[in-house]
Structure 1
Amino acid sequence: MADPNPSPLTQNPGTSKRTFLQELVALATTFGLAGTAQAALPGDPGFQPARRPGMPGKRFGMLVDMRKCVGCQACTVSCSVENQPPIGQFRTTVLQYEVEQPGGSAPAMVSLPRLCNHCDEPPCVPVCPVQATFQRTDGIVLVDNERCVGCGYCVQACPYDARFINHETQTADKCTFCEHRLEVGLLPACVESCVGGARVIGDLNDPHSAINQRMAEHQDELKVLKPDMQTAPRVFYIGLPEAFVHGIDGQASVRLVAEH
């Protein structure tokens, strides 16, 4: 005899796990149950889930020397080849910004590499209702695509516009520092392919690492994007114009920074 009160999964055997999880998250949010899973809700800005294991003793960061970036997009192409995001979506790219000059001079074009900042206080992690976005002990922020329900909370929480919903998987996607390459002793695709040597990645915990040596040489010139957000980003820039420190947003290929 047929079940008079079939469950949603019984009603439709083809229901995907993602649909089920989306419904579950909606119910949890409605009835205030999401907090039982230690997922941060709006109003809990100080909550950060415990970090998951990473490469022992390391804390990865990246240094971008804008004086050496020629805007060739080799990093963008190599990242796409390595990580296979959908066509038209990118984990890293070099955006071209037009900055007006005083006195009627011709505008200056600035090439700014953009990627996930793998912050020490990542705002994308606590807002995830299913803890699909997480941070490892080595600082790398990742997305568990088996858990992600594509709600987009993390995309909205990122102040660096570094995340997107993958058109093919319908889950959150972003730069991972190519952690699969780091774990076998290789450089991230974007670093390896940079023709100008503008990108350096390394262990910030190692005082003898190349990144720490370069940062020590240019200590007074180091800047990060949006320091006022207090996310402690671990992507550092040399040669970043002051106008870009607080005034960068969006993913437009060309953005006019006229007010600076």
Structure 2
Amino acid sequence: MTRYVIDVDLDSCIGCHSCAVVCKQENNVGLGTYYNKVLTIGPTGAYPDLQMYYLPVSCQHCDNPECVSVCPTGASYKREDGIVLVDHSKCIGCQYCVMACPYGVRTYDQGRDKGVIEKCTMCAHRVDAGDVPACVFHCPGKARKFGDLDDPESEPSKMRKEKKTHQLTDVGNQPGTSYGLDKFTWQGGE
């Protein structure tokens, strides 16, 4: 079975925010709304031994997404391939999923879609056409790894074998994204 993920090699992320910018362009995301955010972690330590890295955060496409379980209309759902989406025709804008998301990556859009929830779709339209998500395609550091986690030859599977990986804090939702980090001390959760 296919289980798509986007993993991030933090040792390769240069903090350029290309993922956030191209996501806004690809998905027509309005001002003040982001599906991808790039956080600066650090600096930590004492001079001259300081550490700092960039942490791109978007929907984790969890194995057990709480946002799906709290949705009263079934608008939030998880596809068989692991991609978590929102069906805008069913969304009533109650924001239960926004409150349930432990990563703060869902947003209420009052504008163009008139009161629905928006989030990273892993560029499902591109994936369905056989392409990779826009943030992966345009990452200049090649930090973003997209693929089928059930395929041992996929880029995420290889990264998880080769690097020490971490996930954002798991509160029972089992986040799908892993972050590879060998050079620095992990500060992003568990």
Fold shared by both chains (TM-score > 0.5) = yes
Aligned counterparts of 2:121 and 2:18: Cα–Cα separation in 1: 17
Higher Cα Rg: structure 1 or 2? 1
Q: Which one of 221, 237, 248 corresponds to residue 179 of structure 2?
A: 237
TM-score between both structures, scaled by the size of structure 1:
0.68
- Kept after mapping to 2: 8 A contact 1:86/1:167: no
- Amino acid in the other structure paired with 2:119: K
Structure 1: gaps spanning 5 or more residues? 1-56, 247-260
Please name the residue that 1:159 is paired with.
102
Please name the residue that 2:8 is paired with.
64
Aligned counterparts of 2:62 and 2:27: Cα–Cα separation in 1: 21
What's the offset of the Cα at 1:105?
Answer: 5.2
Where does 1:21-100 land on structure 2 (aligned, <5 Å)?
57-100=1-44
- Amino acid in the other structure paired with 2:150: N
Aligned counterparts of 2:80 and 2:61: Cα–Cα separation in 1: 11
After superposition, the C-alpha distances for 1:78-118 in whole angstroms (9 at most, x for unaligned) are 1010001111111012122334324x658643211010000
Where does 1:125-204 land on structure 2 (aligned, <5 Å)?
125-168=68-111, 169=113, 170-204=115-149
The structure with the largest strand share of the pair is 2
Higher RCO (C-alpha under 8 Å, 6+ residues apart): 2
After superposition, the C-alpha distances for 1:203-256 in whole angstroms (9 at most, x for unaligned) are 0111222221222122xx1110003x121111000117333224xxxxxxxxxx
SS of residue matched to 1:243: coil
Pick closer, same or farther for the CA change 1:87–1:232 going to 2, 3 Å: same
- Amino acid in the other structure paired with 1:152: Q
- Kept after mapping to 1: 8 A contact 2:41/2:187: no
TM-score between both structures, scaled by the size of structure 2:
0.91
Aligned counterparts of 1:125 and 1:138: Cα–Cα separation in 2: 15
After superposition, the C-alpha distances for 1:110-168 in whole angstroms (9 at most, x for unaligned) are 21101000000000001111111001111110000011011110000000111110131
After superposition, the C-alpha distances for 1:156-191 in whole angstroms (9 at most, x for unaligned) are 000011111013122111001101101111110100
Q: Kindly tell me the number of residue pairs found equivalent between the two proteins.
A: 186
SS of residue matched to 1:101: strand
Please name the residue that 2:52 is paired with.
109
Aligned counterparts of 1:123 and 1:64: Cα–Cα separation in 2: 22
SS of residue matched to 2:91: coil
Aligned counterparts of 2:148 and 2:132: Cα–Cα separation in 1: 12
- Amino acid in the other structure paired with 1:191: V
- RMSD in angstroms over aligned alpha carbons? 1.6
